[in-house]
Amino acid sequence: MKHGKWHKRQVEQSLPAWRDEFLRYKELKPIVSAVSGLPPSPAEFAALLDAEIEKINIFFIEQEEEFIIRHKELQEAIKGALARKAAVPEAAHEAEVAAIRREIVNFHGEMVLLLNYSSVNYIGLAKILKKYDKRTGAVLRLAVIETVLAQPFFTAEAVTLMVRECEAMMEAVFPTAPGEGQAAARRDREALAAAEQRIFRNTVAALLAMQDVRSGSSTRGRHSLPPLTLPDSDWLRSFQPPSPIPIQ
């Protein structure tokens, strides 16, 4: 699959409210090609990309801040549910815990989508810069990519940490007692896994494909994409559909 089609597919599979916040790869590609004239100068093209990077960063930071608030709220909800366990009827406690589980599943899925947003935009920038350098003979890619590596949307440290903590939170709201309680927990996990798979399995496939593309190798050069480290890759692979999305 050509990158333009792959990029479009990733945008379409994202949350509807996020779609206008991705890199405008489709609009940038004809600017680079410039069949009927010359492409913009390196300075002009860098300015176009700077505007895109700023847009991506603003959106990413806004989502990250919202996730930090939600993460704290979920932590408090879990503490409250555990503290009330002995004081409320069992049915009421189970209903409260089930609601928290659903919220954690949705929250985890959205954070994985944001990590995917980061990766899709990074790869789009690298691809369009490669096309520009090839078309013009410039060497713009390295300078821009070195700048991008320090941007909040690329580092994504807080979101990556929250993904891991969210998985720990999931364990906190599942029963761990032996016997039927453990069997019920397993059934809940399976049901929630199925629900979560429907939400973002294509996103997970994209992340895993990107990890393969960006894995270290002896053929890596100074312009290669840096390795992508995913949180708990084995866990993510459990949601992988039969045929991952290829990247060309």
Query: What's the 3-state SS for 213-237?
Result: HCCCCCCCCCCCCCCCCCCCHHHHH
Q: What is the band of 231 on the pLDDT scale with cuts at 50, 70, 90?
A: very low
| Angle, CA of 204, 206 and 208, to the nearest 5° | 70
CB 153 within 8 A of CB 121: yes
222 domain-assigned? no
| Total count of domains within the chain | 1
Predicted local distance difference test score (pLDDT) of residue 109 = 85
* pLDDT value at residue 248: 36
Determine, yes or no, domain membership for 92. yes
Residue 21 forms part of a structural domain: yes
Asked whether residue 136 is assigned to any structural domain, the reply reads: yes
pLDDT at 235 exceeding the cut of 80: no
Quick one: tokens of 126? 């690298």
Task: Give mean pLDDT, residues 89-97.
Answer: 85
pLDDT in tens, 122-161: 999 999 999 999 999 999 999 999 899 889 999 888 998 9
- Return the structure tokens found at 190: 């399976």
Higher pLDDT, 238 or 34: 34
* pLDDT value of position 220: 43
31: exposed, middle or buried (C-beta count within 10 Å: 0-12, 13-18, 19+)?
A: middle
* 59-63, 129-133, 202-206: segment of lowest average pLDDT: 202-206
In-domain check, residue 113: yes
pLDDT at 246: 34
Domain containing residue 113 = 3-214+227-237
pLDDT at residue 79 tops 80 = yes
- Over 90: is that where the pLDDT of 25 sits? yes
Does residue 179 have a pLDDT over 50?
no
Q: Identify whether 248 is part of a domain.
A: no
pLDDT recorded at residue 35: 65
How distant, in Å, are the alpha carbons of 28, 55, 120 from that of 24?
6, 11, 11
Report yes or no on 231 lying in a domain.
yes
Residue 227 in this model has a pLDDT that exceeds 90: no
| Pairwise CA distance, residues 180 & 172, whole Å | 17
> In this structure, is residue 247 part of a structural domain?
no
